[in-house]
Amino acid sequence: MAADGCGAPDQAASPAGVDLTTQVVLAGKVLAGDQPVGGAFVRLLNGDGDFAGEVVASADGDFRFYAAPGDWTVRALHRTGNGQASVHADGPGLHEVAVGVS
């Protein structure tokens, strides 16, 4: 109902206008081996394992979350397989994480 809904922005576009001095950005690629996998459902879980957000990875496997400092798990679901990876964010900035699916 607000001007902007709750859907995720384009995951392939660079986060123009995002202030990396204040925003905690968790971003990376979904991979099978060393090849990017597009279209996976990427879920962000907090330190307690609770769901915090979900996006669909771009055709090149890119995903991005805006979070808060702490420990996070990124879990990817794809018709070819699932996988997950952990990432720690100690503060604002870009925190990169790759997630393998098999």
In the region spanning residues 43 to 82, those forming contacts with another protein, defined by CB under 8 A, are 43-44, 46, 48, 50-56, 64-68, 75, 77-79
Closer to another protein by Cβ: residue 3 or 35: 3
Tokens of 53: 């957000």
Interface ranges with another protein (CB under 8 A): 1-2, 4-9, 15, 18, 23, 39, 41, 43-44, 46, 48, 50-56, 64-68, 75, 77-79
